[in-house]
Amino acid sequence: MQFGFTQIRPLINRSALVAISPHLDDVALGCADLVAGYPGALVVTVVAGRPGPHALTDWDGKCGFAQDDDIMGARRLEDDLALRQLGAIPVWLDFLDRQYAADWSSPDPNLVAGAIRPLLDDAGVVASPLGLLHPDHVAVAAGCFEVARSLPSLEWIVYEDAIYRATKGAPKEAIAKLKMQGFSLEPFEVARTGRKRAAIDCYTSQLKGLGKLVQNAHKPERYWTLVRTS
C-alpha cells in the first residue's frame, strides 16, 4: 500500500516527547528517527515485565537464551544501550509479554491506559504505535488511543509498526478501524537520521530471532498526526 506524505514539518515542544513502545525494541524499529529529534525523550515500554519461573519459549530460544537466563534483564540492558544511541531515556512498565502470560493473553488495554496516563503530565507530544497484527501491539495501541481521546489538547503522533507493516493490508485495516472509532490520520514525514541503525544493532538477542525481517525496519518510517473527529 502506498501512503502520501505532507512536507516535513516542525513539531511543537521538541523537549517533551513521550514515545510508547509495546516491546523492548519497537520504538527503535519503527520510531527512531522521531525520537532522535527530541533529546531527552522518554520511551515507555509497556510489556517489559519480568515473568516468574517458566519454560523457555520458542522465541527466546531463537534469540539465543537458555532456560535459566535473566532474559528480560538482558533485554532491558539492550534497550538502555539502544536508547542512548537516540538520546532517549527508558521507562519500563511491568506488563508481561503474552508469551509469558499463563493464559497466553495480552495486557488489558484499560490497564495499559491507566499506567500510561500519569507518565504524560509533562509531555508536549506523544507517539504511539498504529497497532498491527501482534496482539500485544493491538492491545497497547488500543490503550494509547483511549488516553488520546481523553487528552484532546495533547499533540499525538502515530507511527507504523515496523516488521508487521510488511503484511499486506494490515496498515489499511488498522487505519480504517481508527476512522470508525472517531479518529483521522494526517500523514507527515520525519527527517531520517543515521542513528537508527546503531540503535537497532544494540538489540543483539532480538536480531537473532528477527533475522531478515529486520530489513523492513530500515525502510522509511511512516507517521501520522492523530486527529480526534468525535
Q: Are 207 and 64 in contact (CB under 8 A)?
A: no
* pLDDT, position 229: 87
Residue 42 lies inside a defined structural domain of this protein: yes
Q: Report the alpha-carbon distance of residue 150 to residue 174 in Å, rounded.
A: 20
Q: Which three cell numbers stand for residue 94?
A: 511491568
Residue 87 lies inside a defined structural domain of this protein: yes
* pLDDT, position 134: 95
Query: Which residues have CB under 8 Å from 188's CB, separation 6+?
Result: 5, 6, 7, 8, 9, 223, 224, 225
Q: Report the alpha-carbon distance of residue 35 to residue 83 in Å, rounded.
A: 9
Residue 174 lies inside a defined structural domain of this protein: yes
Q: What pLDDT digit, counting tens, does each position of 3-25 carry?
A: 233 333 344 444 489 999 999 99
Residue 12 lies inside a defined structural domain of this protein: no
Query: Which residues have CB under 8 Å from 118's CB, separation 6+?
Result: none
Q: What percent of the chain has pLDDT over 90?
A: 87
Q: With 80 as the cut, is the pLDDT of residue 171 above it?
A: yes
Q: What pLDDT digit, counting tens, does each position of 118-146 carry?
A: 999 889 999 999 999 999 999 999 999 99
Residue 27 lies inside a defined structural domain of this protein: yes
User: Structurally, how many domains does the chain consist of?
Assistant: 1
Q: What pLDDT digit, counting tens, does each position of 206-216 carry?
A: 999 999 999 99
Residue 47 lies inside a defined structural domain of this protein: yes
Residue 5 lies inside a defined structural domain of this protein: no
Residue 210 lies inside a defined structural domain of this protein: yes
Q: What pLDDT digit, counting tens, does each position of 83-105 carry?
A: 999 999 999 999 999 999 988 89
Using 50, 70 and 90 to split pLDDT, how confident is the model at 37?
Answer: very high
> In CATH, what number is assigned to the domain containing residue 147?
3.40.50.10320
Domain membership of residue 78 as a residue range: 17-228
